[in-house]
Structure 1
Amino acid sequence: MCTFSRIVILFFLRSIVNQSITDAFRNNADECCETGRIEAERTKTCNMALQSLITEHNKNISTNCLFLTHICCLSNLRSYFCEEGLKSALRLLPCNQKKLDSKDSYQICCKCCELGIRAGRDKADCEPVAVLDERCGEQFTNCCLKAKSLNCDMGFQMDDDHQRCRDINECLSNPCPNTMQCENTPGSFRCIEGCEHGYTWSIKHGACRDIDECALNKHNCIFGHRCENMPGSYRCIRERNCGTGYQVDPVTQTCVDVDECEQDIDECGQVMIYYYNRIGEKARALSKCAPQNCTSGEKFNAFHGRCEKIQCRSGFSVTSLGKCVDVNECGQNPSPCKRSERCDNTPGSYRCVQTFTCASGLQMKDLECLDIDECAIGNHTCLSPATCKNTYGSFYCQCPTGFVSKHGTCVDDDECAGGNLVCPINSLCRNTPGSYACDCISGYKMIAERAFCEDINECEISPNTCEQRCINVQGSYYCLCNEGYRLNSDKQTCRDLDECSMIDNLCQYHCVNTLGSYKCICPSGFTIERGRHCQDIDECQIGTHNCLVNDVCVNLHGEFRCYSVQCPQGYEKIANNRCHLSTQWCNEHQNDTNLRCTNDKPMKYVYSFISIPAKIRRPTEIFRIRNSQLNINQHTEFDLRLINVNDSHKNLSQITVDNFQIKSFSPHNAYLMVLKELSPLQEIELEIQMKIFTNKILNSITIMKVLVYINQYNFYP
């Protein structure tokens, strides 16, 4: 009856525990998922051990919470790498192939966006492609619509196909001081100190300054030595004596032995044992002192010349060999923990863990989990020649040296099977019976056995490998050409680039290719500006013309003209380009019906001169008329006439007044517009009649003579 009651109680306790685990998982689902989200955000991976994600007070959540944590981590990680892919594509940068490993969401999102950008730049339809899934189609459309406004970030420039951005190598322009080295970085660069060992670059002084290793504690002077700084280095000076039988070397500052025999010294001290050695028949006292034998738990101190007790920190004990080892408090009898607790040994201490069920390899006895010795009862799977070794809660099969246990059998320990973890970077592991060897990969050489694989600098070994520039990289090299050259298909020699034929409108007028570069040429009468633009020389402004004092100097593109204004009868010349109606002439002819001054007679003639290229954007404004002094009761009317066309080149001009148009705007102003293409080397004389009315009554007339010169040069924009 007692046994049956105990079975019922245990079954009831187990049911309660299982139900509490299920309830804990349901109640803590949000916490489990949040743990996965934080792991993805913090480490950008989901490789963290599942067991370590469970806090100490939530151990009963079981495996359900572990799987939920991992699922939420993967979901957030997929969203993160998708956003990274979109950022790369929208910055016109190539999708990084290295990010393909277990991060396919990055590649998918990046490629879908990049496809949309290409379609947008090709002016294609931005509607989603039918074969793409819904999410990829949405990314395709959004990136396609944004394609026209995308530009390269600072430090990048558009590639030759105008689809992607590539990094600008700022180091080619030598931006760093002569004493520093330039290292190119994506979108920028940085200057690296180039000082000798023991010196560092000082921004304040702009030079290499000595490093005070003593002040910075970057020395290896031992206790009893004083550090003294020296230019580019330091030295250690001993300040304490060396003890009996030794003296300080003045050069090396180390302790060297004293030859007591030569100095007739035979005093060993109270704690030292004195030995004699007889050579031949004649006894000679050879002084030799040795430390006394220390008892168990003591260690000889050579500095003080005595045996001292070994002091171990709390939780450790000293062995017969004089070493401090951890005390396993959990192995003591009785156990320091309660009967309902499990004792876990820790370095220097222990901890008691409350438990209701025993783990695998343990058995419950009197509410305590006791270890099952699988080796003693034969409940193990070790096969010969392996031996069974019992552990707390389990066991392991111990194989002879050089062998490991696999599937219950001792086989050769293949150190290389777990990857390249045992070998240095840039090397491959090669298994050998009972051991292994490390072989450097192509482009590297081994400095020391199993120590370090150093890169082979192919550019130094073979300086003529590249025709112009050789760039060494880890494990290989590549050739570069100087600016203005391109690498040939052999990846070593360079050819000159004909920039003039490759790039349309590289120069505004004429482009001449040169080795490694090009130059722009302008016609006579122009100067070159900013390397490619042709700037007209204004002979009228700088005074290099030959016009008379009363002439009007008209600057043309590449030349100039001298124009003499002749006023009509009855008008006086004001300045060089205006003719006003003479008051005296009007008074003298006021009785002459044909010559007298009336409102229909123009008050003044204004002469204007305009120089324009033949092929200009149309319609284009070339002349503006402003009347800012007229009031609201006044209005203007304009009339355009073609007076003369001088075609000095072909005399085949087909210019009519329809090539031009007067366009009024606001109450009193107007534009003179060019509507149709004009042939070069023509001189066109236009006349604009402007009538001013006050309260709809004619007030005055002004005649504007506009001389338009059409240039012979058609420059690229």
Structure 2
Amino acid sequence: MHLALVQKIMYLFSNIVIILLVYLTISSLMTDAFRNNAEECCETGRIQAERNKTCSLKSHLLTTNNDTNTTNYCPYLTHICCLSNLRHYFCEEGINTALRLLPCNETKLQLIDTYKLCCRCCELGVQAGRHLEDCDPVPVLDEKCGEQFTNCCKKAKSLNCDTGFEMGEYGRCRDINECLSSPCPETMKCENTPGSYQCIEGCESGYIWSLKYGECRDIDECALHKHNCTHGHRCENMPGSYRCIRERNCGTGYQVDPHTQTCMDIDECEQGIDECRPGYICKNVPGTYRCQPQNCTLGEKFNAFFGRCEKVQCQPGFNVTLFGKCADINECAQKPGPCQPTERCDNTVGSYRCVQTFSCASGLEMKDLKCFDIDECTLGNHTCPSPAVCKNTYGSFYCECPLGFIFKYGVCVDDDECVRGNVVCPINAYCRNTPGSYACECIAGYKMIAERAFCEDIDECQTSSDTCEQKCINVQGSYYCLCQEGYRLNGDRRTCRDLDECSMIPNLCQYHCVNTPGSYKCICPSGFTLERSRQCQDIDECALSTHKCRNDDVCVNLLGGHRCYSVKCPEGYDKIGNNRCQLSTRWCQQHQNDKDLRCTIKKPVKYVYSFISLPAKMRTPMEIFRIRNSQLQANQYAEFDLRLIDAFDPFTKLSSTTLDNFQLKNYPPHNAHLIVIRELSAFQEIELNIEMKIYTNNILNSISIMKILIYVSQYDFYP
């Protein structure tokens, strides 16, 4: 079984080798064919550019006829060589345009960018040669454009406009329009061309030039359907024109116009072929005519039977109208009227009558054709009820009521003086109506002084001692109560209640707030003193010497307390002061032969202890320690390394503090700053080591250890 598998693998491998050999052979043949035919393919492209002035790449030619999987490179070479020669041709076209002093505005060329670039470079040289006389190369132009600039600049002085052109604005040539001077015969039209003109055969309207006959030939508008004959007309061609001939009758009252072949109305009245009777006037209308009666003058009427105007005869009391009818005359409307002043005129049909109208008005009586007043009050003919009194007037009477009443609805009713507004009672008073009179009463908070005189304010704060619990303020017509500072007015608007400032105002005290009647007070924890009524200021027991530390201990002030720290130096170090351990020279000499205890450059020369007290919830980032080496020389520099030695809560002995809470920022070559970048948990102790290495001329000189002891308070008071 294994032998058969090996034989199959060998068979497949031999086939793969044969395929590779065939592929390499074909590739070699294709490469040789490509290079042998390259010159011929490129020559085809040059000929295409010269003849057609355009280049095209046909995709169906990119494969050979024998093998569709084998690429034919000849069309690519043909297209590339064509484009190269075409670019050269258009560049020459652009240079020739500029040397002819013509503007570079050709837009019909295929490679417009090549044309314009060469034209502009040459045009720039021509302008420089004609005006500046400076043909030195321009550095900003590329090599080819600079060469064209120089060549055209040197030819600028000898350039002139071609025949048929004249010098225009900006030193450019413009075409002369020869057709303005009418150089062609009268029978021909002139057409202007760039630099010249040409005469074109012209024909009159209705004719067209025939190349076959060499003359103007008539246009058959009827055959070409270029006429405007309407339905019912036939088109007939004429030399240079046509005419429309009518083929249908126009009908009664119309006749055909021999020139336009259109239907025209027959004026029967003008031709005298109407049949109007005497006395009637003929009036023509389209297709026929009408007989209208003649117009009669005022006072006449047309008689249709006799065909004439006859005078109209009206009876007395009537007038003739414009329509020949008799209308009644209104004598009463005439001025002056026919009746006496004491009579009324009534018009009747054909006449009028006068009616006597003189009589006395109501409340008057006639005596000797004169009217006199009737005293209804004396005669008792009035209708005034008690207690109203009758008062006579000319032609009538009226009823008068007692004071405080008015006559209304036939009886005496009370007069409401209060509806008259503020004119009745004084300010701060209101009106109360009474039968026959009224009364003025002061509004609440005021009292009346004298009878209806004025209203005076009542001082409620003076009238009663228990009006308000604390403060009473009198105002016009009223009063209001106020409370002392630290109190607020209750809903009864009289009594006061104490304000709990501690619950109302957040963060009123830095530590703890205790409410008091009308006020409050702030309390600080042990180890702090109250300042500015609300701030808690730490008591520095170390500075005040209120601690109980030994003389050789370090007193470390904490927020709310202090700590006595005893610095114990490692073996081989001498204690200097209370916070420094210095490497002992004597000890080093004693142990110089002991390979385990001897002093080397890697042994720290000193330990320096620093103590820092921080509040809880401190703001971050915050710089808490700096190292400055001001005495180092220019050839010295320092390197720093930060390590976390210990961190714990004094009670739980646990801590979440890591080295990630801190950052040691170096300031080369000598300094470094210790920064807290993440918030530290409250109430914990942290020990950090900063190892400082001093190098002189890149050689380690000494090592020092900075021990940073940090105490984080349980309080968030900032010192």
| TM surpasses 0.5 | no
What's the TM-score, normalizing by structure 1? 0.39
TM-score normalised by the chain length of structure 2? 0.38
